[in-house]
Amino acid sequence: MSSYFDGIEPVRYEGPDSATELCFRHYDPNATVLGKRLEDHLRFAVAWWHSFAWPGGDPFGGQTFDRPWFGDDMNAAKAKADAAFDLFAILGQPFFCFHDADIAPGAEGFEESARNFDAIVDYIGEKMAAGGPRLLWGTANLFSHRRFMSGAATNPDPDVFAWSAATVKRCMDATHRLGGENYVLWGGREGYETLLNTDLTREAEQAGAFLQKVVDYKYKIGFRGTILIEPKPQEPTKHQYDHDVATVYGFLKRFGLEDEVKVNIEQGHAILAGHSFEHEIALAASLDIFGSIDMNRNDYQSGWDTDQFPDNPREVALAYYEILRAGGFSTGGTNFDAKLRRQSLDPLDLVAAHVGAMDVCARGLKAAAAMLADGVLEDARAARYAGWDTSDAQEMLDDMDLAAIHDLVVDADLRPEPRSGRQEILENLVSRYV
């Protein structure tokens, strides 16, 4: 049967010195790193939306891609699924992710939409049963259709809340049916354009009630995967409620859901929020809510959420370092929430983008594993805090009040001596590994 990717062979690992254009130079799925196969460390996923549904538009111009499966009916949706599984066979990545709107044509009525969706989910299920990747996560697109323009769960209209809840129910059912390992909530319209028409208290309470219903439904259907919130500070809204990891944690605590929900952290979203990717991962790990990552990068000149494929081994290494320090992924993985540039029209571009990104991630993970195994950074970190390991320091922290600490400082005539933070030395150390 002919395929959009005809003429492109499955990509193989050939090592760093290979002259083959399309091969893995660093990603050998079977190589063992820290006692685990690279494939099982990285848990790569291809994103249906950017790779198969995105038409190549930008805010100033429309479609540039001319995919044979583009169309708004069930035949087009099946052709799209066929093309997706052809790409998966070329890349050999273990997972994929989708929104309902990526895989099936919508309809104005809920039932018709849901029927289309369920039929394509069955079709994808058959393709999965015949071999190919598993589902890392499913999600609902509660942001593209105009009904969601004022939010989904946080909409001022209860009918939109209801539509959104019903949609999430269907998407959780589908994710469960396909054996998905996580379910993601990204609230692209859960925020505001202007405070002048916004009731912050109501909207937060609606969002909290919605999330509680999602968690309750997970238990009702016996879904064993992880519920993940994906933070982002803005775009498309002026202000998004799930601003960053710290804000999401505060929200989860407010509604008592911090043990039920974790985060899916995206590189570009972290940067938009004024953080680094590794900061967001490290913070989530320290709060025990780290779940999964959306791997990509923004354009550092435009500052927009451009969702490009990652190409910077050092940045990626620092991110995986925090993931490995936290014990690695459990249900999470590395989802390429990344899209081609709109001039990259060819099937080869789509394959090459993923191959390059998988290689950069493999390189980063190997560097991170070596840094961790050698222990140099962790030894330096431990040495920096060694003073706190003494019983005197612990006693001060646990048992002494301000007055007692005051007396201690006076009695001992304490004169703290500043010590170097050794930042450049540590940065030089990282450079040796990447």
In sign, the C-alpha dihedral spanning 7, 13, 16, 17 is negative
- Report, in Å, the least distance between residue 273 CB and ligand XUL: 12
Return the one option of ligand XUL, Co ion, none that residue 189 interacts with (CB less than 5 to 8 A, by type).
Answer: none
Q: Is 242 in the site for Co ion (CB under 5 A)?
A: no
Tell me which of 28, 86, 100, 102 is the catalytic residue: 102
277 residue type, one letter: F
Nearer to Co ion, 278 or 337 (CB): 337
SS3 of residue 57 by DSSP: coil
Return the one option of ligand XUL, Co ion, none that residue 232 interacts with (CB less than 5 to 8 A, by type).
Answer: ligand XUL
Nearer to ligand XUL, 173 or 337 (CB): 337
- Of the candidates 320, 247, 311, 237, the one whose C-alpha atom is nearest the C-alpha of residue 277 is 320
Cα gap 394→176, rounded to integer Å: 47
Return the one option of Co ion, ligand XUL, none that residue 100 interacts with (CB less than 5 to 8 A, by type).
Answer: none
- Report, in Å, the least distance between residue 140 CB and ligand XUL: 8
Tell me which of 99, 176, 275, 354 is the catalytic residue: 99
Q: Is 244 in the site for Co ion (CB under 5 A)?
A: no
- Report, in Å, the least distance between residue 22 CB and Co ion: 26
- Report, in Å, the least distance between residue 308 CB and ligand XUL: 13
Task: Tally Cβ neighbours within 10 Å of residue 430.
Answer: 17
DSSP code at position 309 = P
**What would you report as the CA-atom Rg of the chain, rounded to the nearest whole angstrom?**
24
Cα gap 76→116, rounded to integer Å: 12
CA within 13 Å, CB half, 219: 7
Q: Is 278 in the site for Co ion (CB under 5 A)?
A: no
Enumerate the H helices of 222-276 as residue ranges. 245-254, 267-272
Q: Is 294 in the site for Co ion (CB under 5 A)?
A: yes
Is the Cβ–Cβ distance between 20 and 355 less than 8 Å?
no
Nearer to Co ion, 28 or 337 (CB): 337
> Which residue's Cβ has the minimum distance to ligand XUL?
186
- Report, in Å, the least distance between residue 79 CB and Co ion: 25
The residues that touch ligand XUL, with contacts defined as CB under 6 A, are 49, 99, 139, 184, 186, 230, 232, 266, 294, 305, 337
Q: Is 266 in the site for Co ion (CB under 5 A)?
A: yes
Cα gap 132→92, rounded to integer Å: 8
Looking up tokens 């913070």 gives 283
Catalytic residue status for 41: no
- Residues lying near Co ion in the complex (CB under 5 A) are found at 266, 294, 337
Active-site annotation, residues: 99, 102
